[in-house]
Structure 1
Amino acid sequence: MSNKPNAEEFYKKLKGQLEETTNWPSAYLYKFIVKSDNQKIAEIETLFDNTGAVINTTASKNGKYTSISINVVMKDPDAVINKYIEVSNNVEGVIAL
């Protein structure tokens, strides 16, 4: 989501969907994919420190990529979006699903 206008459009749409479908605060499941690099995985995990998040990692079949699933209670759609932005701004090459 490096292209700013597309990212803004994506987040605006996501916020609308979250407001319509979820009562807040609520559990939210983040999914990220990064190259299998312990430093990148640790960077993402650090961004969710002290949030009560449950984090699971799964390496791809060939071990080249790692999927990171993070289940955490968020207070509102803005908090969800802010965390996506924080991850994308701090972890190079991360793909958010």
Structure 2
Amino acid sequence: MSKEENPEAFYAKLKEQLLETTQWPSEYLYKFIVLSDLHKIAEIEAIFDFSGAVIKTKESSNGKYTSISINVRMENPDVVIAKYIEIGEKVEGVISL
């Protein structure tokens, strides 16, 4: 089952897994892939602005895509999921890993 087919079930399972495997608050690593478009990268970075996040980007070998890794301290699984949803709503064509 993918997030696109049933987002509620996907996020419910993710929340359950995060509660079982992590003590909160905790560091969380987000990973995204977007087209190498400075505007899209900036949109993602802005969502994590002022959160103390460590953001690293790496362009693909052909330069078409950019991977973005964001390490940030999160309070609980609900906050983690809220960021995924916000990114999905605000940044067109983003792939969450």
**Unaligned segments of structure 1, at least 5 residues:** none
Q: Does 1:48 align with 2:48?
A: yes
CA contact (8 A) 2:3 2:10 kept: no
CA deviations on 1:27-60 (whole Å, 9 max, x unpaired) are 0000000000000000000000010000000000
- 1:81 matched residue in structure 2: 81
CA deviations on 1:1-34 (whole Å, 9 max, x unpaired) are 773x511111111000000000000000000000
Report how many aligned residue pairs link the two structures.
Answer: 96
Q: 2:11 and 2:3 mapped to 1: Cα distance?
A: 12
Q: Specify the SS of the correspondent of 1:32.
A: strand
**Unaligned segments of structure 2, at least 5 residues:** none
- 1:38 matched residue in structure 2: 38
Please identify runs of 4+ aligned residues in structure 1 that moved more than 6 A.
none
- 2:94 matched residue in structure 1: 94
Percent of aligned pairs with the same residue?
67
